[in-house]
Structure 1
Amino acid sequence: MSACTTVAVDLAKRVFQVAGEDTLGHVIFEARIKSRETFQVFLHKLPVNVTVLVETGPGAQAWARLLQMQGNPVRILPAQHVAKHRSGPKNDRNDALAILRAGRDCRISAVPVKSAAALAMQALHRARRGYIRRRTAVSNQVRGLLLEQGVALAQGEMAISQLVPRILEDATQPLPDLLRELIAELLGEWGQLGDRVNALTGRLETAAKESETAKRLMTVRGVGPIIATALLAKQTEPERFASARQFAAYFGLVPSQHSSAEKVRLGKMCKHGDAYLRSLAIQGAHAVLRQLRPDSEQPDDQRLQRWISRLGRKEAAVRLANRNLRILWVLLQNDQTYRRQPGNGREAAMSH
């Protein structure tokens, strides 16, 4: 280990595959550690000048913080990029060697090492997203079960919360008693999941009110407490992006490319990066477009109206989400707030 400059670790729950290389890129050390306690002792014995590479996954952030506290440089590499460097079948040894090769690829940006508070905030978002998915699945199941009996429901929460109870209470509806009981149970589960979503939403809104940075981010139209706290929890380190354009592209809000030589072919949205934040940004943009007044004389509103008429509502929402992320990139690097200035020839301004 004394000659190693970089060490790659394929993390697991209790088994850890380690590979080390020298300054020339030659693999000179390999080991398989079969307990967490032994692995922790191994990390403590590492020289402080050894860089440690791991890939994203459960436990990566915790081990990375431990290494940072003892002075070792650590990089967390995205698992999807590491997989492209794997040679041979997938096993622990080949995964560790793939992490070493991915570490030499300067085009791969490391995932920021998050603080414990940021991970806790991220956990709130993940739990909330899980409740929303389960609630949507339950509502779709209720619609499907009723449709099999010839009862068609419109989409939306109002149909579930108001129409379904009326249908269950209506004796003229040709529904078997067994199905009525089942749908009543599903309706109760749907309501409980909604209460959990609302509770987590309230906690995120409270966290946004207590954060000065989140309050500055929410001065952008289409950015609320959910987007602001999700962006802070991600800890993207905006200074590592050369421009606002690259920051927006990091979330996949740019066209995919299929270009060759002099032929430039742009396709649909590439959808790279964080799908959760990208979807939140687009949802926030849709909320802005729904509130637009056709007779508004503000330059921002008129520009959005032109986008809708030329591109359609969905593409206009994607474009607005891209623009909002570019503005957020600027706000994350200073103490300014976003302020629109209609009617004076300028679209917007940053103010302290």
Structure 2
Amino acid sequence: MKTIAYLGMDVHKDTFNLCALDGTTGEILGETRCASDVKLVKKFIEKIARDHKREIQVKAGYEAGCLGYSLHDLLEKQGIDCDILAPTTMHSSSKNKVVKNDRLDAKMIALNLANNTYKPVYVPDKEDVCVKEYIRMMNDFKKSLKKVKQQIKAFLLRHGLIYQGKSSWTIAHLKWLKNLELTGLLKETLEEYLLQYDALTDKIERFSQRIEELSHKRRYEKPVAQLRCLKGVDTTTAMTIHVEISDFTRFPNTKAFTAYLGLTPSEHSSGEKVNRNGITKQGNATVRSTLVECANALVKGTIGIKSKRVKARQKGQASEVIAYADKATERLQRKYHRMMYQGKPRNVAITAIARELACFIWGIETKQID
């Protein structure tokens, strides 16, 4: 008769802490600390089987972290069933708050596996992972560009140089920057900043073109085109949301989806007192921040009026998808203006729009657009 052993793994770059529990009795079958090598994990499992003189079926698990999906894939190749545990869903005893170390963490993970008190992280296929990493790389460069823009503006402010035009980083603004009458090291400093700005801008444009090409792959073309029917959702945004989530059907309803994105209000209630605070900010931060950016773009413009850009993106799509996207846009714009009229802070209103936009996106991806 096989014994089910739950193998908790507290993993780091250089070391693994392992703890195996008997699935029936809860007895600790073995504990060890080893180098970060999957072969040593397999040897540990084989040693437990020899010591207890019985066949063991292993269920391994580790917390989502720096190793990503790589360890999961390596363990699966070795024939070891493995889950990646979402940290925010795991049960943790009060003792872990007083005494915390790698050995206890491994035991805590094993107990969660044995008692099923966790939710596993969804593991996408390799192609989705590759596209996801490419998009995240582009977002890192966008953050660098934003930083350079801030540095240039700070430099100008320190020297009393203020642009009188309406918008920054337009053709006129860049021409003004390049024609400033500076001398010596000040001129050289600004030129270096602008060289960095130009280099990053060119790279981001190239990355965007590559993502445009990827969006026309068979597996992405239809869902991305449908998401683009929504105002505020361009190709890069649609690819980001679709690839980061990958399988929308794993969420039974919109409430589960928005909770995963950390867009639902947190709560701290006791007795008759009910206190709801800001959003939880748990789950996928990339999709959450992307939806907030989309919400900022969506609420602009006149309610019920579609721009030429949106009409162009909707061209060739099914009439029910277009109608659903238009209904979503109008509803969200009206909701935003209503909240602003009621005196709600703009950030609160935008977050509410992002949360409801996520619900409409879930409807498109799961084909529930009635």
Return the TM-score normalized by structure 2: 0.77
2:270 maps to what in 1? 260
* Alignment of 1:50 onto 2:51: no
2:83 maps to what in 1? 75
2:18 maps to what in 1? 18
- Aligned partners of 2:38 and 2:74 also within 8 Å: no
Q: Which has the larger displacement, 38-47 or 113-122?
A: 38-47
- Aligned partners of 2:90 and 2:118 also within 8 Å: no
* Alignment of 1:134 onto 2:109: no
How many angstroms apart in 2 are the aligned matches of 1:303 and 1:60? 38
Superimposed CA distance per residue, residues 76-108 of structure 1 (whole angstroms, 9 cap, x where no aligned partner): 113455695535554332331232234356453
Counterpart residue identity of residue 308, structure 1: Y
Give the secondary structure class of the aligned counterpart of 1:256: strand
Match of 2:133 among 109, 120, 123: 123
2:358 maps to what in 1? 325
* Alignment of 1:306 onto 2:334: yes
1:207 Cα shift? 1.7
Give the secondary structure class of the aligned counterpart of 1:260: coil
Moved over 6 A (4+): 154-157
Counterpart residue identity of residue 217, structure 1: L
Counterpart residue identity of residue 21, structure 2: E
Give the secondary structure class of the aligned counterpart of 2:299: helix
1:180 maps to what in 2? 187
Give the secondary structure class of the aligned counterpart of 2:362: helix
List aligned pairs for 1:248-287, cutoff 5 A.
248-287=258-297
CA separation of 1:34/1:98 partners in 2, compared to 1, >3 Å: closer, same or farther?
Answer: same
Match of 2:199 among 192, 203, 218: 192
Give the secondary structure class of the aligned counterpart of 1:263: coil
Unaligned runs of 5+ in 2: 50-54, 307-325, 341-345
- Aligned partners of 1:135 and 1:193 also within 8 Å: yes
* Alignment of 1:28 onto 2:56: no
1:3 Cα shift? 4.7
1:189 Cα shift? 0.5
- Aligned partners of 1:11 and 1:60 also within 8 Å: no
CA separation of 1:177/1:82 partners in 2, compared to 1, >3 Å: closer, same or farther?
Answer: farther
1:35 Cα shift? 5.2
CA separation of 1:142/1:69 partners in 2, compared to 1, >3 Å: closer, same or farther?
Answer: same
1:91 maps to what in 2? 101
- Aligned partners of 1:18 and 1:30 also within 8 Å: yes
Counterpart residue identity of residue 91, structure 1: N
- Aligned partners of 2:15 and 2:36 also within 8 Å: yes
How many angstroms apart in 1 are the aligned matches of 2:128 and 2:275? 39
Identity %, equivalent residues? 23
How many angstroms apart in 1 are the aligned matches of 2:226 and 2:350? 22
Give the secondary structure class of the aligned counterpart of 1:50: strand
How many angstroms apart in 2 are the aligned matches of 1:62 and 1:214? 27
CA separation of 1:218/1:25 partners in 2, compared to 1, >3 Å: closer, same or farther?
Answer: farther
Counterpart residue identity of residue 142, structure 1: I
Give the secondary structure class of the aligned counterpart of 1:54: strand
Superimposed CA distance per residue, residues 23-50 of structure 1 (whole angstroms, 9 cap, x where no aligned partner): 2333221112225264365389597831
Return the TM-score normalized by structure 1: 0.81
- Aligned partners of 2:19 and 2:32 also within 8 Å: yes
Counterpart residue identity of residue 142, structure 2: I
- Aligned partners of 1:153 and 1:159 also within 8 Å: no
1:162 Cα shift? 4.0
How many angstroms apart in 2 are the aligned matches of 1:317 and 1:293? 16
CA separation of 1:200/1:89 partners in 2, compared to 1, >3 Å: closer, same or farther?
Answer: farther
Unaligned runs of 5+ in 1: 339-348
Superimposed CA distance per residue, residues 279-310 of structure 1 (whole angstroms, 9 cap, x where no aligned partner): 111211222221334778x7655534432332
CA separation of 1:319/1:280 partners in 2, compared to 1, >3 Å: closer, same or farther?
Answer: same
